[in-house]
Amino acid sequence: MKFSKFIDILAAHGFSLHRHGATSHRLYRGEVNGEVKFVTVAVHRMSDEIKPKTLSAMIRQSGLDKKLFR
């Protein structure tokens, strides 16, 4: 999955950019089942593929169902 697609899915489920520093890390904030969740997205280029372990970690941070990201 590409970073752009991952961020589109987050946005579709109410996540928004919370903080973007000078580095390539972006922090997205959203609410899932009444609980505030933060997802750190370390993106260099939006067209890059996300490594499988990194994708799993970001999905886990989001609290969203894994099926949404297939």
Entry pTM: 0.90
Distance CA 9, CA 32 (A): 13
**The domain containing residue 35 runs over which residues?**
3-69
Stretch 5-12: mean pLDDT: 96
Check residue 66 and give its pLDDT: 95
Backbone angles phi, psi at 46, to 5 degrees: -65, -25
Please give the tally of structural domains in the chain.
Answer: 1
Nearest to 17 by CA among 25, 6, 26, 4: 26
For residues 41 and 28, the answer to whether their CB atoms sit within 8 Å is yes
For residues 2 and 44, the answer to whether their CB atoms sit within 8 Å is no
E strand residue ranges, the chain: 16-20, 25-32, 35-42
Check residue 43 and give its pLDDT: 83
pLDDT digits (tens, 9 = 90+) for 9-53: 999 999 999 988 767 889 999 999 999 999 999 888 899 999 999
